[in-house]
Amino acid sequence: MCGRYTFIAPPGLVEDRFDAMFAEPVAPTYNAAPSQHLPVITNTAPGQIQLLQWGLVPAWVKDRTSGPQPINARAETLSEKPSFRQLLQRRRCLVLADSFYEWQQKEAHGLPPKTPHRILLKSAEPYAFAGLWDEWVDRATGEVLPTFTIVTTEPNALMAPLHHRMPVILESRAAERAWLDDGLSAQEHQQLLHPYPAELMQEYVISKLVNSPAHNEPAVLEPVQAA
């Protein structure tokens, strides 16, 4: 599962890293949460960084307030579920991030259960989660609501002690371009969805400030020593 993450890299660095421009100014977020509008690059506009709402509302839904709005989609079953299968074929996106949070569900190494951890690359550089997106249109008003979900996979060796799932971090710039490439098959896209190398990642324990999305501040990132 991926239910919280950060995106705090400087805008200029982000635009150079992803070869895309921000469609509008974006403030850093230290505690990105579902229902928020967050930076995404879609396959239909690969040169633009847009804000989409986290929590997928499929185009075919009549009432966006009813039914689930999944924040995650399992990589292994994308081709089996009709709504995800169609999006895998035609609506993929890069969800921009530079770390994510996970809560360890069991007591370990002197830590209490549900201990929050911050997970990031050893390089601390920004990266992209593999995502799917769609546009829901209000038939009464014509309002268009673009939304997204983050693809998850089995955990690598770093993540396994923390949780049984992890978000798919696309492993290279080439993989990011391939994920957005409409010329590839669904099978080729699905082959990109694997755990990121554990040896290139790091994690540490943080405080429970992160438990509330209201805490969107640098203090959320501060490490906490085990008792």
Tell which residue, 150, 159, 164, has the closest CA to residue 120. 159
Question: CB of 129 within 8 A of CB of 37?
Answer: no
Q: Is 93 a catalytic residue?
A: no
Catalytic residue selected from 15, 24, 93, 102 = 102
* Structure tokens belonging to residue 191: 């082959």
CA distance 219 to 82: 41
Q: Is 176 a catalytic residue?
A: no
For the annotated catalytic residues, the residue numbers are 2, 102
